[in-house]
C-alpha cells in the first residue's frame, strides 16, 4: 500500500478501536457464501432468477442493529452497499439490480441503515466493491464466475459506471466517514481508474477515509489474522490498521456453519489482541435474508455489551503499551496515552497475585476495573527475606483468590 499524500484526520478511527462489519445481500438467501455466484459459476441471469424476486427483509430493523452495535461499544460500522454479485442495497439509478426494485423489498435499505446508525452516534462506513460480476463490461479473470467461459469484453465503460455509483453514495446519504473498497486484484486494477476515483472522492467528501483503493488507502485491513507487532513502516512506526474478523467461519449469514462459532470469551480476547497491537477490530456479522441477526449473534452482541460496560475504557482510546513494559504470561497490555493508564487483560486468572516486570516504582494505584476495587501493590525489597519471586524492577499485584465472573478480567494501573 503506497502512502497517501492527503492526510485525513484519523483520530476517530484510531481511538474508536471497535467497528461493526456487515455483509448483507441476496446471498443471505442461500446462507453459504457471498461468493456463491463465483463458486457455482452462475451467470448474472441465473443468479438474479434464483434470488432477486424472493428477497423479503420483513424483519429488517436497522434501529435494533444500531442499538446492539452501540451497546457493544462499537464506534463505527461498514455495510456492504454492494458486493461482487452487483446487487445494490441503495436506490441507484445505474442499475435495476437493487433493493428498491426487488419486488418483495421496495425500499432503500442503505438509507435506513445509515440513518439508524448515525442517530446512535456511530461513524458511517460504506463498502462498495470494485468488481461487479453482473456487468458485461467487467473483465473475465480467474476470479470471475464465468472464468471457464472466457470472452473478449469492452471494459471502457466500467470506470464511468463505478464512478457514478460512488458519486451517488457520496451525494445522497450525508457525511460518509469511511468508504471501504474491495476486490482490488492486480489483474483488473487497470479497470478502476483509481487516481480519478480518489480525486473525486476527496473533493466530494473532504476528510473521508479510504480503504483498499490501490495506491490511495489511508490504512491497512488484514483479514483473518492479527499481526504480532501491529503493522509498522520501515522505521518501526505504527501505522493505522484494522483487522477484519468474523463471528464464525464466513462473512455472510451462515445457515450451516455451527462448528466455527466463537464464544463470547474468544471474541473479547480477539478485541483485546487488536487493541493491544495498536489496531482496530472490525467484527463482521451477517444478517439473515429477513433482515435480523440470529440468536447466536445477538447473544454475542449482548455479551460484548456487558463486558464493554465495565471494561470499555481499556479498549477505547488505547493502543500499544510502551516497549519497556514487557507483558506477563497469559496477559496483554493496552495503554491510554491521554490518561497515562496501563491496562492488564488476564486471559487466565493467576494464583492470588501477578508479577509485572519493570513496573516497580512506576505505578501509583491499581484496581480491578470491573468493580473499581483497589488492589494492593508490593515492590521489590532486597531486605525482605520473603522476596523469593520478585526481582529488581518487579511489581507484585495482589489479587482476589476467585476470578471475577467475566470473559476477561482487567487490571487498571495508574502510572506515575
CATH number at residue 179: 3.20.20.80
Domain termination site, one of 287, 314, 341: 314
Residue 258 lies in a domain: yes
Who's near 409: CB < 8 A, 6+ residues apart?
345, 346, 349, 368, 369, 370, 403
Q: Are strands 341-346 and 410-415 parallel, antiparallel or unpaired?
A: antiparallel
Range of the domain at 300: 11-314
Q: Give the Cα-Cα-Cα angle 173, 60, 43 (nearest 5 degrees).
A: 80
My answer on whether 139 and 275 are in the same domain is: yes
> What does pLDDT average to over the chain?
94
What CATH number is associated with residue 364? 2.60.40.1180
Element (H, E) at 77: strand 76-82
Predicted local distance difference test score (pLDDT) of residue 6:
59
Element (H, E) at 355: strand 353-356
Per DSSP, what are the bridge partners of residue 283?
Answer: 20, 245
Who's near 413: CB < 8 A, 6+ residues apart?
341, 342, 343, 344, 359, 363, 365, 366
pTM exceeding the 0.85 threshold for the entire prediction = yes
My answer on whether 268 and 335 are in the same domain is: no
Residue 40 lies in a domain: yes
The DSSP call for residue 238 is B
- C-alpha 373/C-alpha 356 separation (Å) is 19
Neighbours of 240 (CB within 10 A): 19
Predicted local distance difference test score (pLDDT) of residue 1:
47
Instruction: Give the mean model confidence (pLDDT) for residues 98-111.
Output: 98
The DSSP call for residue 188 is G
Does pLDDT of 164 surpass 70? yes
What's the number of domains the chain is made of?
2
My answer on whether 152 and 210 are in the same domain is: yes
My answer on whether 223 and 106 are in the same domain is: yes
In angstroms, the first-to-last Cα distance of the chain is 39
Neighbours of 402 (CB within 10 A): 8
Taking the CA atoms of residue 291, residue 294, residue 298 and residue 300 in that order, the dihedral angle to the nearest 10 degrees is -130
Does pLDDT of 32 surpass 80? yes
Does pLDDT of 173 surpass 50? yes
**Considering only CA atoms, which of 271, 223, 275 is closest in space to residue 249?**
223
Amino acid at each position: 500500500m503506497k502512502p497517501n499524500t492527503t492526510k485525513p484526520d484519523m483520530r476517530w478511527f484510531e481511538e474508536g478501536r471497535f467497528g461493526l462489519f456487515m455483509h448483507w445481500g441476496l446471498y443471505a438467501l442461500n446462507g453459504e457464501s457471498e461468493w456463491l455466484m463465483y463458486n457455482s459459476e452462475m451467470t448474472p441471469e441465473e443468479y438474479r432468477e434464483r434470488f432477486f424476486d424472493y428477497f423479503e427483509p420483513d424483519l429488517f430493523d436497522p434501529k435494533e442493529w444500531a442499538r446492539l452495535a452501540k451497546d457493544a461499544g462499537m464506534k463505527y460500522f461498514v455495510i456492504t452497499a454492494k458486493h461482487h454479485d452487483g446487487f445494490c442495497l441503495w436506490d441507484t439509478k445505474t442499475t435495476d439490480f437493487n433493493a428498491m426494485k426487488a419486488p418483495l423489498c421496495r425500499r432503500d435499505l442503505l438509507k435506513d441503515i445509515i440513518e439508524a446508525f448515525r442517530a446512535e452516534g456511530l461513524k458511517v462506513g460504506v463498502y462498495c466493491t470494485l468488481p461487479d460480476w453482473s456487468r458485461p463490461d467487467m473483465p473475465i479473470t480467474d476470479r470471475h464466475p464465468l472464468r471457464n467461459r472466457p470472452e473478449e469484453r469492452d471494459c471502457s465503460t466500467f470506470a464511468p459506471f463505478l464512478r457514478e455509483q460512488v458519486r451517488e453514495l457520496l451525494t445522497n446519504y450525508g457525511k460518509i466517514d469511511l468508504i471501504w473498497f474491495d476486490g482490488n486484484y492486480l489483474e483488473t486494477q487497470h479497470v478502476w481508474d483509481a487516481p480519478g476515483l480518489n480525486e473525486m472522492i476527496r473533493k466530494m467528501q473532504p476528510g473521508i477515509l479510504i480503504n483498499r483503493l490501490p495506491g490511495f488507502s489511508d490504512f491497512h485491513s488484514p483479514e483473518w489474522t492479527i499481526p504480532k507487532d501491529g503493522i509498522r513502516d520501515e522505521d518501526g512506526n505504527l501505522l493505522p490498521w484494522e483487522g477484519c474478523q468474523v463471528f464464525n467461519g464466513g462473512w455472510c449469514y451462515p445457515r450451516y456453519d455451527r462448528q466455527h462459532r466463537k464464544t463470547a470469551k474468544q471474541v473479547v480476547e480477539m478485541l483485546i489482541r487488536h487493541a493491544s497491537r495498536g489496531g482496530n477490530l472490525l467484527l463482521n456479522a451477517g444478517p439473515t435474508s429477513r433482515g435480523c441477526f440470529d440468536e447466536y449473534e445477538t447473544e454475542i452482541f449482548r455479551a460484548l455489551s456487558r463486558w464493554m460496560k465495565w471494561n470499555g475504557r481499556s479498549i477505547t482510546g488505547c493502543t500499544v503499551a510502551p516497549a519497556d513494559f514487557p507483558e506477563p504470561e497469559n496477559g496483554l497490555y493496552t495503554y491510554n496515552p491521554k490518561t497515562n493508564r496501563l491496562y492488564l487483560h488476564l486471559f487466565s486468572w493467576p494464583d492470588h497475585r501477578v508479577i509485572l516486570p519493570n513496573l516497580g516504582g512506576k505505578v501509583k494505584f491499581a484496581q480491578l476495573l470491573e468493580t473499581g476495587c483497589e488492589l494492593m501493590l508490593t515492590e521489590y525489597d532486597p531486605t525482605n527475606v520473603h522476596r523469593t519471586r520478585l526481582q529488581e524492577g518487579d511489581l507484585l499485584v495482589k489479587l482476589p483468590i476467585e476470578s471475577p465472573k467475566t470473559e476477561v478480567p482487567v487490571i487498571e494501573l495508574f502510572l506515575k
